[in-house]
Structure 1
């Protein structure tokens, strides 16, 4: 679902750090206040969905909750730009940064910004909205087509003595030229898609594909009561009708299930609670995860009390987003981190630490932990390694390390992990000890931890070494990944990651492990298993996935629909074909929610190509390229479609046009090389393969094809050099190993062949022929 650069949305969706309530308030007071789309805080928009009443309707019955909410960042997550809401200095300041220009001033009562537009030329834009509050405030510009874009200049709202009260560029010193998808006018800075759902209430994107325009609506401009409680009209009616007092939902159509009463009494022996509590499905953590997770939207039909996977597709612990051990790397909004923690496993929820209406912590610093943990025991130097003073690190310092995003916004990792400087040595992941002791080595920190706590490292997050091996393609990861996948005590987000990583290590044991995970209680683990199986032949996919066609969770069904799109329905029994037709219709509808995005169009095209609906696939790819002509991945897919339908010349033309716009796209060079080979233009093809290999050395496939092409043209030495250089970067790639093994055997070079065969046998453990060859060569 997500493009490779989607991770950067954290740079402008930065305010989702507070939490709202998990239970319904006692009653709502009716209010007739409505306004236009650009409504004030708490006031119902004229275009609100039926059943919504606005946060202003809550005040008379819930004054304390309303007062707390009014002071929260949620209530100020978005506002119309007025002197009362704008915190920045628009008195004519100018700033230059990374080749970008900004001038901020007032004119005719409006807030103006002079900066580079979509064509790179200076232009003046009117600020329509503010975005967020602390420690920075961003500003939005609304265009005539309904597109709302996030300006690159933000105001540091911190006090001046802390370095604040200044304008800064959200990308720091990184130049973002006009035309780049990260430029403020580009698709990665589009509020309607990237940020709106989590900064307003009851949002509907309302993208019109025919006119490429937005008609986005919401019930409230900011995050209001109904963002978490759902539409309140029924509750308002309940409050007025004494006859309905027995209604357990108090007039709401849905509600977050309440957790059973928890006993967090600490065990004197450990200083931590001995007991846990059962976690109800769709609990408050799932409610908060709607905005505090790294995820994509698959349905706007959200209701409290549902699992997140009914409306959103969450990321797993993917490389680029998370460190190998699960620590946050890019901005991931807390959910996936928290779900790795022992606290989550024991039943702790967001509102155990955060007040649900104000969003504030219930106590400051490490004091928040003493709600459940024995303060004296954990403050002792035997545990902390530091004598307790005012300047000593506390629980938060060591167990919730900080990363700073958007230049000025520090975020705590919510996985509550034990510091592991020993893993810094082994796999290069960061650790909290060296975050403070930057002048010391990881070895020094690891030795110190061992003196305090002995040689055995504890903790729930013990999968870092396995994931590191997996990211390197090392087959030694296989058994470790299988063990984590099969262990239901492994956090589900890590279990799903293990299943996904196993895609690179096919074997009979992996097949069985994945089959078991199709029945996993966590929907995202099932999603990971479906993605793994999607790499198998279509008929085999159907055999394995037939039982999930009617899975109760939308995210799983969507993934199954994609995986089975290549099946020919006329060859199936009528009942099974009908079930798949229904699934395919639902899958297409779900994917159309992202048809304002080139990657969304690419997903639709892939879906249609699987169904052999080539004309519809072509329509989607062309539509995606109209959205962004530089989206080279769509050009590559379109060229492949043309090739598959006998239009080779058009394929070449498409790729050449794409490279004229985006000359550094390796995939387009590679695809053009393949197209030129089909036209027997071998010299030109070699040049394209060479370019692809140089531009993307991390893609072993490009180097392999380049090496094969060289060899086919009798350039054996050059071919071998390409294979060897690529193998140094990808030591376990089976295609490279097989190519070099074949060369060594052909040359009778047993010394070169033996280690290659041994490594290939480890990569392909079920290949008996390779195993016999490896054994034979090793004994030579």
Structure 2
């Protein structure tokens, strides 16, 4: 099991303060509802008495950096989180009631306290004190602190926009969903937990401090909101440097580390193109990596972040995965800005976040599209020859065409930062969105594609050219293999795209694929190396060891941790001292990463599987059981624990775990599938078939469930029913090799040579190096 299931610390449920809504949506920092506050004891910028060593607080920084502090006080960073007080609460608490799909809330005051009356964890109405505000514009959420240290976000938020914009109202964050207390999205559930989901990016120098033994949090921070040291790191050494108690020659002016500085950039515009003639080199660990810490969809495995290091030293970014991103890489789910920006030609040319956004206020360096005019010739790009629209107040601008927006959390409009050329022609082929029909909602993608061809000719331009490869890969189309290999092995391809291509290639085994994956192990970008290490899963262990052991000394922790995961079966005692020490250190890093996330079922599941592969059955069982206590509705944990019981001959306990999981979540397919396999081992075929059928019905897109169900039908003599299931499953997964193999066998048994030739030709495309398939194809010609 990959380390990657820890991804998800940035779900949409609590994302208002991840501040990744590309500051383009922020019109005036704090908005006109509150004046910028001043620094003061116990207030904004104040150092808490639980701050880690080395932190001094933004109020201290203000003594020498008054200009930067003044700008920061107007930013959303400074107000990402605050204690619930009259000067920070923007919502209407004048005994306001709101209802939503069977739930309700009443917001009122109890003297100085802000209160809510709503359903609690047991579904019964109770009264709770609101302890903290969360975010400021365009909405503000509210947190309730529980005795076990958990801070939970309420499902009702306040729209802080003006009345003219539709704001100044309470609303539910999931308007189309009824969320019962058993759901992880319920406000007291795991997905609404501030300590894990949000705290790192809403506070400074956060230490989660989860105690697994008591299942309690003692979460602490140096500042309640996002202060200077969130980006610059602890400033005690710098303060000593300014006071002369540290040598004037101390590196980084006393800071332990700093973000790498880009060399001076030349953005001189080429009159012929209207674009800058030159780019700039991008040093490793530059300011973009600092921003990425909170402006990326990622999981955390270490709290020891410092500026100047790659994000993968402490966090694991997701790939451009299906469900999170469109096939062409545009944002789909709430993924924030980093992944989009790193796909852009601007990033490739050396542009940083600070070129467009003033880093302390987070405001644009020029209003609206004027910010683009810093580097691009405005007159050329506002012309009708470029846009196809008559210039004027209602004409589309750079942002509307090259940064199409999506709205999250009901009211939060965010712009895609990949700065792509609109490609409605790709929408026709791939089903992706495009900026043209986002505006012309009554028109088709083909209409828009034809219009652009009329304006600019038949040749389509654009830096982002990977949509077709990822679209085909998601369909399992073998035609994707060569395109993915080109993406994975071309240095000029953005690293996030190379990493995604490597991850996708695992579904297309071949000699050429294997060569590309081996090459990726030496890629200069750590995320690509991580993807390549993950791709080694399933290889014979001796090959895995030979390929991955050299990466035990990789300079990036994220790589070493994934190597440890892939080599978990290796007994340390069998290794020579140097290899033993390196692998032991990596094992410790992996285990520490999972224990940091011991408050999550995913973390417990990861660690349990890791321990089981190392032969620690008792330790694995303890982790699986602890994980189920954290989230009884987490099907993967139940299946893992059941497999452990089966492995140790405890079939009855395995069934009990699976039946309890089904009882908790009747619509979870995986426990039913696993229960069916247990029943088959007991030769209780009728019961097993019923569970296999139900798993298939609950998850019809799961090709594996369909395959096993079809095999079971075939084994029980229901051949035609089996063929029907195979055909339906191939309609959803037309390139699944296992289903195609079943279809081939069925065609051969029935004497349908034409069908057999068709199927074997598809298998040969999927497995071009399989000699047995090649031999069969030759026989059928």
* TM bracket (short chain): over 0.9
The answer for the alignment partner of 1:456 in structure 2 is 459
**Following TM superposition, by how much is the alpha carbon of 1:243 offset from its aligned partner in structure 2, in angstroms?**
7.6
Do residues 264 (structure 1) and 267 (structure 2) align? yes
Residue deviations 1:519-561, cap 9 Å, x none? 0011000011011112212222111111111111011111111
User: 2:590 corresponds to which residue?
Assistant: 587
Q: CA deviation at 1:115?
A: 1.4
1:27-38 counterparts in 2 under 5 A? Answer: none
In the TM superposition, 1:688-727 aligns within 5 A as 688-727=691-730
Aligned-partner Cα distance in 1 for 2:504–2:620: 29
Maintained 8 Å contact 1:6/1:188 = no
Match of 2:12 in 1: 10
8 Å Cα contact 2:6/2:300 also seen in 1: no
1:321-356: CA deviation from partner (whole Å, max 9, x where unpaired): 000000000111100000000000000000000001
SS of the residue 1:45 aligns to: coil
Contact 1:192-1:216 within 8 A present in 2 as well: yes
Aligned to 1:336: 339
Of 623, 626, 631, which aligns to 2:629?
A: 626
Q: 1:132 to 1:774 in 2, by over 3 A?
A: same
Structure 2 equivalent of residue 679 of structure 1: 682
Cα distance in 1 for residues equivalent to 2:261 and 2:442: 47
Q: Secondary structure at the match of 2:270?
A: coil
Contact kept? 2:84, 2:131, Cα under 8 Å: yes
Aligned to 1:23: none
Aligned mate of 2:659, from 649, 656, 660: 656
Check 1:239–1:666 CA distance in 2 against 1; reply closer, same or farther (3 A cut): same
Q: Does 1:153 find its partner at 2:160? A: no
CA RMSD, aligned part only? 1.6
SS class of match (2:316): strand
Partner Cα distance (1:100, 1:448) in 2: 48
Secondary structure at the aligned position of 1:549 is classed as helix
Alignment of 1:188 with 2:191, yes or no, is: yes
What is the total number of aligned residue pairs between the two structures? 763
Tell me, what secondary structure is at the counterpart of 1:245? coil
CA distance in 1, matches of 2:17, 2:190: 20
- Give the alignment partner of residue 773 of structure 1, picking from 764, 769, 776: 776
Runs of 5+ consecutive residues of structure 1 not aligned to the other structure? 21-32
1:22-61 mapped onto 2 (5 Å cutoff): 39-61=42-64
Q: Secondary structure at the match of 1:506?
A: coil
Q: Secondary structure at the match of 1:407?
A: coil
Contact residue 136 and residue 160 of structure 2 kept, 8 A: yes
Which of 239, 252, 256 pairs up with 2:255? 252
Partner of residue 504, structure 1: 507
1:699-731 CA-to-partner distances (Å, cap 9, x unmatched) read 110111111111112221211211111111111
Aligned match for 2:141, one of 129, 138, 143: 138
Name the structure 2 match of 1:120. 123
Q: Deviations over 1:22-42 (max 9, x none)?
A: xxxxxxxxxxx997xxx4210
User: Quick one: which of 736, 760, 781 aligns to 1:733?
Assistant: 736
Aligned to 1:65: 68
Q: Are positions 1:384 and 2:387 aligned together?
A: yes
Q: CA deviation at 1:635?
A: 0.7
1:2 Cα deviation after fit: 5.6
Corresponding position of 2:670: 667
Paired residues of 1:514 and 1:532 also in contact (CA < 8 A): yes
Q: CA deviation at 1:577?
A: 3.0
**Partner secondary structure for residue 327 of structure 1:** coil
Task: Tell me if structure 2 keeps the 8 A contact 1:34–1:44.
Answer: no
User: Which residue number in structure 2 is paired with residue 25 of structure 1?
Assistant: none
Does residue 341 of structure 2 align to residue 374 of structure 1? no
CA distance in 2, matches of 1:34, 1:109: 20
Closer/same/farther in 2, CA of residues 132 and 608 from structure 1, 3 Å limit? same
Larger mean CA deviation between 384-393 and 570-579 belongs to: 570-579
Q: 2:179 aligns with which of 176, 180, 185?
A: 176
Q: Distance in 1 between matches of 2:9 and 2:447?
A: 34
Shift of 1:502: 0.4
* Equivalent in 601, 604, 607 of residue 601 of structure 1: 604
The higher-RCO structure (CA 8 Å, 6+ apart) is 2
Determine the C-alpha separation between the residues in 1 that align with 2:80 and 2:473.
39
- CA distance in structure 1 between the aligned counterparts of 2:531 and 2:439, rounded to whole angstroms: 37
Determine whether 1:349 maps to 2:352: yes
Give the aligned partner of residue 109 of structure 1: 112
CA gap of 1:346–1:445, structure 2 versus 1, over 3 A, is: same
- Indicate the SS of the match to 1:128: strand
